[in-house]
Amino acid sequence: MTGRTVFTGGTLFPVHNPGREPYRGHLVTDAAGTIIEIGAGEHVPGPEPETVVDLSGALVLPGFVSAHSHLWQSVFRGVADGCSTMAWIERLHKRFGPALEPGDMYAFTRHGERDLLRHGITTICNHTHEFGAGPAEQWQAALDSTARIAYSFSPPLWSSAAERLSVLDKFLHLIADDRHRVLALSMNTTGPHSVSEMRRESALLGELGIGLHAHYLEDPNVAAVQQDGFDDLMAGGRIGPDTVLAHFIHTTPRIRDAAAHAGAAMVWNPLSNGRLGSGIADIPRYRDAGLRIGMGVDGQASADTPDPFQNMRTGLYLLRAATCNAAILDARTILRMHTLDSAAVLGVDRVVGSLEVGKAGDFVVCDPAVPWTDLPAAQLWPLAVLALSAADITDVYLGGRRVSGGPADRDRALEHECRDRVSRLHRAA
Ligand SMILES: [Zn+2]
């Protein structure tokens, strides 16, 4: 066998090609899971034997990318309803963080990863936290992950600059042999340091090929203070082409334009921002300013069901309602934002984010429960974004290999383990 797999008959969504509508076609992956052929119509078989998977009647979307997630939070859904970000952190991080025991962060992170994968999210930036057994378990969970992981390392945020560098050094030793097994690396650069300290740290991260990833301008209650710190962040090298700013809601025109001009990116998390009452990022103006924008589902304790369709709709509808303008952002654009643009924000769009030759065969197969085959091709974009949900997912493929059957495909053993661990935490905390 050549290890080639031919996926035939599905309707493919070319998010990378603005001039092309969805079309019925085929794609072929090689033994390594890379797309080696894609096109309209039927595949012409070669002399070598191939495995054929019939996707007739299905919609085939690129695997979704969450450019900002906290996987460990997956087991704490429904927590702290009615709380804004800082109060929510008190009820989640500060209550349970100190009570975490060895094995907790590994199990919880795996739970979160499995959960995103069955909801069609095949690439995840896991923005980790420093409590529990330190980075070792979250790193191991990344190595054992089925989904592709961009790993965001989190040192103790409120420690001195020197302590942070020492912790970073230990982390680099921890990952030395396996760094190549994650898609990308970044560090959580939140924290109050002097301009010169920030500049030294930013320069070092640049030399190490590690990106910068931070929450910024999320909670409206601390926005004014954070806005005041923007000039120092700029001077300290924390806003640049390797920077990902999660949320980035409460900007001023000057901050927005300066961040865009510096080449920084933001991650829009509509579900989480709605749940926590954080606000509505002004995505249309950010686009006009040229800011790079990705999307994320954030942690599952603030976007409690990580359904990327729900995430897209929440964002789209908040913007349309807030502006009284149904044309402010369209379905096709937001689908690209949650796939290819999110991959670009993480710097991994050469590997994932769209169905193209040379990229990984990561895709989501959906079987809508409504008639759609007679719709004009252009109408399939809104069909996918406005009418589908994760419940319509029948298969998730990663590198040409079927890795999940959708939301109902659960890992009961892992769920039971996590339930026992969370019960212990509730007793202890
Ligand atoms: Zn977050």
Q: Give me the mean pLDDT over the 99-110 stretch.
A: 96
Domain 5-62+353-404 has CATH 2.60.40.10: no
Query: Is 190:213 a contact under the CB 8 Å cutoff?
Result: no
Q: How far is the CA of 147 from the centre of ligand 1 (A)?
A: 19
Residue 408 exposure: Cα atoms within 13 Å on the Cβ side: 6
Q: How far is the CA of 299 from the centre of ligand 1 (A)?
A: 6
Q: How far is the CA of 190 from the centre of ligand 1 (A)?
A: 12
Per the structure block, which two tokens stand in for 162? Answer: 């020197």
Name the β-bridge partners of 5.
Answer: 29, 51
Q: Give me the mean pLDDT over the 368-378 stretch.
A: 96
Q: How far is the CA of 129 from the centre of ligand 1 (A)?
A: 10
Q: Give the model's pLDDT for residue 2.
A: 74
Query: Is 104:77 a contact under the CB 8 Å cutoff?
Result: no
In tens, the pLDDT along 227-252 reads 999 999 999 999 999 999 999 999 99
Give the length of the chain.
Answer: 429
Q: How far is the CA of 213 from the centre of ligand 1 (A)?
A: 10
Q: Give me the mean pLDDT over the 345-374 stretch.
A: 97
Q: How far is the CA of 4 from the centre of ligand 1 (A)?
A: 39
Task: Break the chain into its structural domains and give their ranges.
Answer: 5-62+353-404, 64-345
The SS3 assignment for 150 reads strand
Residue 1 has pLDDT above 70, yes or no: no
Name residue, tokens 């109902």: 408
In tens, the pLDDT along 108-129 reads 999 999 999 999 999 999 999 9
Q: Give the model's pLDDT for residue 320.
A: 98
Q: How far is the CA of 318 from the centre of ligand 1 (A)?
A: 19
Q: How far is the CA of 152 from the centre of ligand 1 (A)?
A: 11
Q: How far is the CA of 68 from the centre of ligand 1 (A)?
A: 6
Q: How confident is the model at residue 203 (pLDDT cuts 50, 70, 90)?
A: very high
Q: How far is the CA of 400 from the centre of ligand 1 (A)?
A: 30
Q: How far apart are CA 357 and CA 362, in angstroms?
A: 12
Average per-residue pLDDT for the chain: 96
> Cα 230 vs. chain centroid, distance in angstroms?
25
Instruction: Give percent of the chain above pLDDT 70.
Output: 100
Q: How far is the CA of 344 from the centre of ligand 1 (A)?
A: 19
Q: 64-345 has which CATH code?
A: 3.20.20.140
Q: How far apart are CA 184 and CA 34, in angstroms?
A: 18
In tens, the pLDDT along 69-87 reads 999 999 999 999 999 999 9
Q: How far is the CA of 44 from the centre of ligand 1 (A)?
A: 46
Q: What are the residues whose beta carbons fall under 8 Å from the beta carbon of 403, sequence distance 6 or more?
A: 117, 146, 396, 397
Q: Give me the mean pLDDT over the 196-207 stretch.
A: 96
Q: Nearest-5° angle of CA 323, CA 326, CA 327?
A: 100
- What letter does residue 419 receive in the DSSP assignment? H
pTM over 0.85: yes
